[in-house]
C-alpha cells in the first residue's frame, strides 16, 4: 500500500503567535512521524501554490485580493478568530495547492491514498470571508479541481472535525455531484449543521449532517459512520472520497466536549478506507483541519497513516475517556437522521 504525504515548511510561516491553531501542530506531527518510523514508509508529494483561477472556483476575486493585500501590509485579523501574518497568503496558497497535489497523485495512481498535512485549515471559509481559523477552503477547492480536471461526476466529502464545515457545505449545498457528510458537536461553533440541512434544488439530499451531543464518543461516531455514512455512500457511488480530518472531537481536546479516542479516529479511517476500496478503486484523500492538543494531533495523524498503510496495530497513548455518564437519546437521534435520508430498515 502506497500512502502519500503532502507537507511543506511554508505552512509553518503562517505565524499565528500563541493562537491555538499554530505551527507547533505540524512541527510536532512531522517529528512524531519521523521518530516512529512512519515517515520513511510514505511517499512524499511536493506541494505547490494554488493558481488564482483555482481559488476562484470557490472564492470571489475581491476576497482573494483582500487576503493578499492584508498579508502584504503585515497581516492582522480577518475575523475575530482568524489571524494572518506576512507569509499567511503564501501559506494559504500552498495549503489549497497541497490538497490538490494529493488528489492528483491519487487520481493518477501515483499513490493509493494520501494525507495532506496543511495549514491554515479550510472547512469554515466561505466564498467571500474567512472564518474559524480558515482562510481559503482547501477541501472545496480540491473537490472542484477533481470534478473539473478528472471529469468526475460524484465525490464524497466526509468531515469528522468537531466543528461543522459550514464553508464546505455552502459550496456544494445545491450541487448533486458532491455528497457532504459531517459529524460535529451541536450546538457549537459555527451554529450550522442541524439534521434538517439536507441540500437544496438539485442538491437536495446530498448534504447529510449528523449533529452530535456533547459527551458522545467512539461508539456513537462509529454507529453514525456504519449506519448512516456507509449506506448513503453506497447509494451515491462516489468516484473519489475526500476527508476533512480534525482531531478536536478527542476527549483531551479543550476546545470541545466530545469523547472520541485516537482508536476511534482510526476506526473511522478504516470505514472510509473500506468504502473507498468498495466504491472507488481505493481513491481516498485526507486533509488536516482542527485539533489543538499536540499529543492528540500527532497520535491521530499517525493512526490515520497506519490505516492508510495497512498497519493493523494502532497506538493510542491516551486511551479511552474516563467513565462518565453519557447523554441519552442517541438511538432516537440516529433513527431521526435515517428517516430524513430514507435509510429505514
C-alpha cell at 337: 437522521
* Among 53, 43, 58, CA closest to 124: 58
Count CA within 13 A, CB hemisphere, residue 194.
Answer: 3
At 325 the pLDDT is 72
At 21 the pLDDT is 98
At 214 the pLDDT is 96
Pair 8, 119: CB distance under 8 Å: no
At 345 the pLDDT is 59
Q: Report the DSSP pairing between strands 284-288 and 240-245.
A: parallel
Peptide bond into 187 cis (omega under 30): yes
Superfamily for 3-308? Histone deacetylase domain (3.40.800.20)
Share of the chain above pLDDT 90, in %: 97
At 280 the pLDDT is 98
Q: What is the mean pLDDT of the chain?
A: 97
298 contacts: CB under 8 Å, gap ≥ 6: 28, 29, 31, 32, 33
161 vs 266: CA distance, rounded Å: 14
Pair 34, 5: CB distance under 8 Å: no
At 322 the pLDDT is 83
At 48 the pLDDT is 98
pLDDT at 188 over 70: yes
pLDDT at 323 over 90: no
Task: Write the pLDDT tens digit of every residue in 71-122.
Answer: 999 999 999 999 999 999 999 999 999 999 999 999 999 999 999 999 999 9
Domain map (residue ranges) of the chain? 3-308
82 vs 164: CA distance, rounded Å: 16
Q: For 246-266, what is the mean pLDDT?
A: 97
pLDDT at 267 over 80: yes
Residues serving a catalytic function are 124
246 vs 20: CA distance, rounded Å: 14
At 344 the pLDDT is 79
Task: Write the pLDDT tens digit of every residue in 2-22.
Answer: 999 999 999 999 999 999 999
Q: Which of 49-58, 210-219, 319-328 has the lowest mean pLDDT?
A: 319-328
234 contacts: CB under 8 Å, gap ≥ 6: 275, 278, 279
Q: For 262-267, what is the mean pLDDT?
A: 98
Q: What pLDDT band is residue 327 in, cutting at 50, 70 and 90?
A: confident
Amino acid at each position: 500500500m502506497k500512502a502519500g504525504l503532502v507537507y511543506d515548511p511554508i505552512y509553518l510561516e503562517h505565524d499565528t503567535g500563541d493562537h491555538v491553531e499554530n505551527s507547533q501542530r505540524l512541527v510536532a506531527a512531522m517529528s512524531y512521524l519521523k521518530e516512529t518510523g512512519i515517515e520513511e514508509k510514505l511517499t512524499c508529494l511536493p506541494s505547490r501554490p494554488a493558481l488564482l483561477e483555482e481559488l476562484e472556483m470557490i472564492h470571489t476575486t475581491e476576497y482573494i485580493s483582500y487576503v493578499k493585500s492584508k498579508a502584504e501590509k503585515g497581516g492582522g485579523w480577518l475575523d475575530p478568530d482568524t489571524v494572518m501574518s506576512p507569509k499567511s497568503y503564501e501559506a494559504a496558497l500552498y495549503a489549497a495547492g497541497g490538497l490538490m497535489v494529493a488528489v492528483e497523485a491519487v487520481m493518477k495512481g501515483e499513490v493509493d491514498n494520501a494525507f495532506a498535512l496543511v495549514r491554515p485549515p479550510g472547512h469554515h471559509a466561505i466564498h467571500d470571508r474567512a472564518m474559524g481559523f480558515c482562510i481559503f477552503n482547501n477541501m472545496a477547492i480540491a473537490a472542484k479541481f477533481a470534478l473539473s480536471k478528472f471529469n468526475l461526476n460524484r465525490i464524497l466529502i466526509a468531515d469528522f472535525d468537531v466543528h461543522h464545515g459550514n464553508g464546505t457545505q455552502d459550496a456544494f449545498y445545491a450541487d448533486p455531484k458532491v455528497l457532504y457528510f459531517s459529524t460535529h458537536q451541536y450546538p457549537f461553533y459555527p451554529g450550522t449543521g442541524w439534521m434538517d440541512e439536507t441540500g437544496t434544488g438539485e442538491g437536495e439530499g446530498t448534504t447529510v449532517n449528523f449533529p452530535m451531543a456533547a459527551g458522545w464518543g467512539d461508539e456513537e461516531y462509529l454507529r453514525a459512520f456504519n449506519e448512516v455514512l456507509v449506506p448513503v455512500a453506497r447509494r451515491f457511488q462516489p468516484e473519489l472520497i475526500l476527508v476533512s480530518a480534525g482531531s478536536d472531537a478527542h476527549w483531551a481536546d479543550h476546545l470541545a466536549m466530545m469523547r472520541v479516542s485516537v482508536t476511534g479516529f482510526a476506526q473511522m479511517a478504516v470505514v472510509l478506507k473500506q468504502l473507498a476500496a468498495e466504491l472507488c478503486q481505493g481513491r481516498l484523500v485526507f486533509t488536516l483541519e482542527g485539533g489543538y492538543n499536540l499529543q492528540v494531533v500527532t497520535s491521530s495523524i499517525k493512526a490515520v497513516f497506519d490505516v492508510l498503510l495497512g498497519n493493523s496495530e494502532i497506538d493510542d497513548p491516551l486511551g479511552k475517556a474516563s467513565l462518565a455518564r453519557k447523554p441519552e437519546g442517541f438511538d432516537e437521534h440516529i433513527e431521526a437522521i435515517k428517516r430524513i435520508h430514507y435509510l429505514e430498515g
